[in-house]
């Protein structure tokens, strides 16, 4: 009887160990996670290339436990809808223009200020420094976590009606803009009729002449085939758009500290890669567009006129965003310029 009891006890112990091992294995497998990433642009853009690099790095650094699936072309909704979905936990991540977060934290609106940055390197230094960190620190309270700042780059102005060689040529042109108040006021101040639209709607709006033109980086114009429905391009460089890679706080908090570290490292390395690709592709896109559109480079005096015209817009939104914060942004830019 004693031997039988001992045998049953040992068998039970082995069974328990086996069950624990199976549970541990299941738990390990359960930790494997595919993150759903929404974005507006398509393969071929530097932004999409950057997210593909992020997915590659994430899988590599996590040993396959974390993977990412990219949903491009706005198939999961426009940027503003995606922000809400990330907060609610139905979409994990996104990459978008950082200024679109101004509805959550007004400070992000400063990134839409016209002629804020003179060069991409200047923008990198500011976004990777104290100002960029301060902006990201505002997000967790809004249900999001910022990871890195890739770029969309400098915007230029295209249209289907006439060459824009001077400020006055913008008068009356119906121009699609991103859905931020600063940008609407900016284009209206330059004499155009600003029309905010979600990015996935832009091609059809241009094709159907619902709008005359749009403002985009050159590579976006090529990849999205906007050049098929536009005739003229003016290199206005009126705005530089930092992008931001963000994850919903619910999704972020569901990861272990080690996984969060891997996520951040992958996002930051991918941002460096994306910026390099962006700069290269922008130069290539200019050469392509010169063969398809009438491309105009503005004279210095026209840039000066534009800067003068948008001063009231900057003053208006400085008051809304907060003079103290805006002052520190410009002070940081001055510091970067002085260090050149």
Distance CA 159, CA 174 (A): 9
Distance CA 93, CA 30 (A): 20
Distance CA 58, CA 93 (A): 13
Structural domains of the chain ordered from first start: 34-338 (3.40.190.170)
Q: How many residues does the chain have?
A: 340
Pairing between strand 93-97 and 232-248?
Answer: antiparallel
- CB 74, CB 198: distance < 8 Å: yes
pLDDT in tens, the chain (340 residues): 444 444 444 444 444 444 344 333 333 444 689 999 999 988 989 999 999 999 999 999 999 999 999 999 999 998 999 999 999 999 999 999 999 999 999 999 999 999 999 999 999 999 999 999 999 999 999 999 999 999 999 999 999 999 999 999 999 999 999 888 999 999 999 999 999 998 889 999 999 999 999 999 999 999 999 999 999 999 999 999 999 999 999 999 999 999 999 999 999 999 999 999 999 999 999 999 999 999 999 999 999 999 999 999 999 999 999 999 999 999 999 999 998 7
Half-sphere CA count of 19, side-chain side, radius 13 A: 6
Residue keyed to tokens 């817009």: 313
Closest-CA residue to 179 (of 326, 81, 308, 73): 81
Q: E-assigned strands of the chain?
A: 33-38, 66-71, 93-97, 144-148, 151-159, 174-177, 193-196, 213-216, 232-248, 294-297
């Amino acid at each position: 009887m004693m031997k039988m009891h001992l045998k049953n006890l040992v068998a039970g112990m082995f069974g328990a160990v086996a069950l624990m091992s199976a549970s541990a294995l299941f738990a390990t497998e359960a930790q494997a996670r595919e993150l759903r990433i929404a974005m507006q642009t398509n393969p071929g853009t530097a932004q999409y290339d950057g997210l593909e690099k992020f997915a590659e790095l994430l899988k590599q650094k996590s040993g396959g436990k974390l993977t990412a699936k990219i949903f491009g072309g706005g198939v999961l909704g426009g940027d503003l809808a995606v922000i809400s979905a990330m907060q609610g936990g139905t979409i994990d991540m996104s990459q978008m223009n950082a200024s679109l977060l101004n509805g959550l934290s007004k400070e992000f609106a400063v990134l839409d200020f016209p002629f804020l940055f003179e060069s991409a390197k200047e923008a990198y230094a500011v976004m990777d420094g104290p100002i960029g960190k301060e902006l990201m620190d505002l997000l967790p309270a809004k249900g999001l976590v910022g990871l890195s700042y890739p770029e969309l780059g400098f915007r230029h102005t295209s249209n289907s009606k006439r060459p824009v060689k001077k400020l006055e040529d913008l008068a009356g042109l119906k121009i699609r803009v991103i859905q931020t108040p600063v940008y609407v006021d900016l284009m209206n101040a330059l004499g155009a009729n600003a029309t905010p639209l979600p990015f996935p709607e832009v091609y059809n709006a241009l094709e159907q002449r619902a709008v005359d033109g749009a403002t985009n980086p050159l590579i976006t114009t090529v990849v999205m085939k906007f050049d098929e429905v536009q005739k003229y391009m003016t290199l206005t460089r009126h705005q530089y758009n930092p992008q931001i890679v963000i994850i919903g706080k619910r999704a972020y908090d569901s990861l272990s500290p080690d996984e969060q570290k891997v996520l951040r490292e992958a996002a930051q390395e991918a941002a460096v890669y994306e910026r390099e690709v962006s700069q290269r592709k922008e130069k290539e896109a200019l050469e392509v567009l010169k063969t398809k559109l009438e491309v105009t480079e503005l004279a210095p005096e026209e840039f000066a006129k534009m800067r003068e015209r948008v001063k009231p817009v900057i003053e208006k939104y400085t008051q809304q965003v907060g003079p103290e914060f805006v002052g520190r942004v410009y002070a940081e830019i001055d510091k970067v310029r002085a260090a050149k």
